Amino acid sequence: MTHNIPLAHVQKHTKAISDTKRTEVANLQNYIQEILGDHHTFLQGSYKNDTSTSDINDVDIVAVRVNTYSSTYSSVPVVSSIMWDQIFSEIENKLILNPGKYQWTVVRADKCIEVRTSSFKADVVPAVQINQALKNDNIAIYSFKNGIEKVNFPNTHYKNGIAKQDVTNQNYKPMVRMFKNWASNHFGGLDVVSSYHIESLVYNSPNNIFYNDHAASFALIGGHIVKLLRQRNLIPTAIKSVCESEDITANWYLSNRQTFCDVLDKSVGHALNACQAGSQYDAQNHWSKAFNL
């Protein structure tokens, strides 16, 4: 599609993080791995999957307690037990005692231990194994708020993202970043939609509407998401996550879904007007309205 939206105004919403920031995150993870020692750490979430916005300042680092298995989900015989509070405390104490050059603050949260540096907030997520090989996907994490374990599939998430990126001519991840920027502009600070919801909704969009023209893609994918959510309100069918392991609408309040859907619908209208505008001024004006700028 030919349109008059300045390319720079589109690309700023799809930009990935810088190499400098990648190095900072890698160094932080390596240091945490060194501190924890008897844990296997790895990055997960939007940073790991290259779907984070360029201004990312928080990362998720999973810390798997090696040779410790979930009594809820694992078939490996459990010889002795350990409480989740102790699993958290072991990691928490090591982090508190070893701030190193980061001079971080450490606070326990519901499912993680928050480590705040001058540059980043790292959520260190304690986990235990389900399978004997650490390379296998399944791990179990714990929520103190709900008092339950939950299975996570970080490798499946990563592999599904790679596959979607390949079948969309490398346009899937830029579009996830664009929609995350859009959501931040409209709902920043409000608990309307999560980063995981955004990524899963874009993931569920048809491959043939991911174009190299990301402005056109935003309008088409946004329109599909609005239609998908409105159908979900009429017929209670699941909208699968990127991991294809859960229904993302199950724990997403209807009022928040509706707010998200209504605002996106208006933004899609502005995006379509921007793509069809006869002048650069009008195109840029409608595009800015779409992104609440």
Q: In the structure, what pLDDT confidence band is assigned to residue 206 with cuts at 50, 70 and 90?
A: very high
pLDDT of residue 120: 84
For residues 178 and 184, what is the distance between their CA atoms, to the nearest angstrom? 10
pLDDT of residue 142: 96
pLDDT score of 78 more than 90: no
Q: List the alpha helices (DSSP H) in 37-170.
A: 45-48, 84-97, 154-167
Q: In the structure, what pLDDT confidence band is assigned to residue 79 with cuts at 50, 70 and 90?
A: confident
Q: What is the value of pTM for the model shown? A: 0.91
pLDDT of residue 101: 92
pLDDT of residue 236: 85
- Average pLDDT along the chain: 93
pLDDT of residue 245: 82
**Residue 149: strand pairing partners:** 142
**Chain mean position to CA 243:** 12
Q: In the structure, what pLDDT confidence band is assigned to residue 199 with cuts at 50, 70 and 90?
A: very high
Q: Are the CB atoms for 163 and 173 separated by under 8 Å?
A: no
Nearest to 212 by CA among 4, 14, 9: 14
CATH architecture of the domain covering 19-152: 2-Layer Sandwich (3.30)
For residues 197 and 191, what is the distance between their CA atoms, to the nearest angstrom? 12
Q: Are the CB atoms for 134 and 66 separated by under 8 Å?
A: yes
Range list for CATH 3.30.460.10 in the chain: 19-152
Q: In the structure, what pLDDT confidence band is assigned to residue 81 with cuts at 50, 70 and 90?
A: confident
pLDDT of residue 92: 97
At 281, phi and psi to the nearest 5? -60, -50
pLDDT score of 57 more than 90: no
pLDDT of residue 1: 65
pLDDT of residue 131: 86
| pLDDT tens digits along 180-196 | 999 999 998 789 999 99
For residues 144 and 253, what is the distance between their CA atoms, to the nearest angstrom? 21
